Amino acid sequence: MIRPYLRFANAFALVAFSLPVLQAAAQQDVPAAPTAAPDSAPAAPAPAAAPAFPKPDPANFTAALPTKETVSAFLRTSWGYDETRIWEVWAIQKTPAEGVSKITLLVNDKTGTQKPTAVEFFALPDGKHILAQNDILPFGEHPYTEFREIAKQRADGPYRGSATKDLEIVEFADFQCPHCKDAQANMEKLLVDFPKARFVFQTFPLSSIHPQATRAAASGYCVTKQGGSDAFFTYASAVFDGQEGLTSADGATLTINSAVVKAGLDPAKVAACAAAPETTKAVEAMVKLAVDLNINATPTLVVNGRHVPANAPYETIKQIILYQAKLDGVAVQ
């Protein structure tokens, strides 16, 4: 039985098993600690070695699959980019559901300043997926392979950078999403730091909460069709700059038409294209791709199949991309 003294995570938000990314993003709003007064007691020295976890109890390993080796390989692929994070596979247990195993991890960092956190998820019978919180995520030693192939075949949006897809970074964004607008600063930095990468823009309009996003997506598709990738990125930049205009139908017309003109195209021709049935089908295909890649939020990057929040701290995104490229044997310089 798993000992009760462990502190369990109340919310384990997994975006392609990228817990440290989300924690880092959340920490941006935490104010810095006040400077200690001169007469304060000195801080305790950091431990000389990483903290050790209690030895797992063999009685907690009642399920034959997945093996501890498979779980460990999955964790190295998912979390290995963060050199400060350590973990122990604490239990792999049978459940009442045939073929479903409950996996428990102990997670900490190398400083030993925190208590270990117990994290739980469920491995599904197909051996390729896990259930974490309310999401089904890829699992295994190479969990991102399937998504990488889907993106290679179907991420056909405008692109910048390399013509090859050895390192493909696909951005899924909604023109009416404020976080997507903010994430463009990260994208511009990535273009500089990863000159051998292919950066694809896949519009993913969340029409249920952004009524004008589909219209902006359709116009963007037509701008690409009529002017190519360069025209699209000029259009996209202008739409994000004028994003406040997308709050109404009339405002969207002005914002989109202005962006089309900046892209060097005729607003009337783009509007006619955007209203065509084939454009509607193209936008539906964009949404279908995002759904098939299990993307449920914008902005999201898919880095050789791996999901990364595009508005996470820049150095964290860069660290993950470097690690994924290393796993895939891809040169980045």
Instruction: Identify the burial level of 267 via C-beta atoms within 10 angstroms of its C-beta, where 0-12 means exposed, 13-18 middle and 19 or more buried.
Output: middle
In this prediction the pTM is 0.84
**Cα-based distances in Å from 125 to 119, 122, 178:** 20, 10, 39
Question: What are the pLDDT digits (tens) for 300-333?
Answer: 999 999 999 999 999 999 999 999 999 999 998 7
Report pLDDT for 26. 27
Question: What tens-digit pLDDT sequence spans the chain (333 residues)?
Answer: 333 223 222 223 333 344 333 333 322 222 232 233 334 334 444 545 678 888 999 999 999 999 999 999 999 999 999 999 999 999 999 999 999 999 999 999 998 788 889 999 999 999 999 999 888 999 999 999 999 999 999 999 999 999 999 999 999 999 999 999 999 999 999 999 999 999 999 999 999 999 999 999 999 999 999 999 999 999 999 999 999 999 999 999 999 999 999 999 999 999 999 999 999 999 999 999 999 999 989 999 999 999 999 999 999 999 999 999 999 999 987
For every residue of 108-147, DSSP letters joined together read EETT--S--EEEEEEE-TTSSEEEETTEEEE-SSSTTHHH
Cα distance between residue 248 and residue 210, in whole Å: 10
Cα distance between residue 106 and residue 118, in whole Å: 5
Within 8 A by CB and 6+ apart from 228, the residues are: 158
Report pLDDT for 18. 43
Whether 302 contacts 141, CB under 8 Å? no
Cα distance between residue 49 and residue 228, in whole Å: 55
Residue 279 structure tokens: 């454009």
Q: Where do the domains of the chain lie, and which CATH numbers do they carry?
A: 7-29+48-140 (no CATH), 146-327 (3.40.30.10)
10 residue type, one letter: N
Do β-strands 117-123 and 7-8 pair in parallel, antiparallel, or remain unpaired? parallel
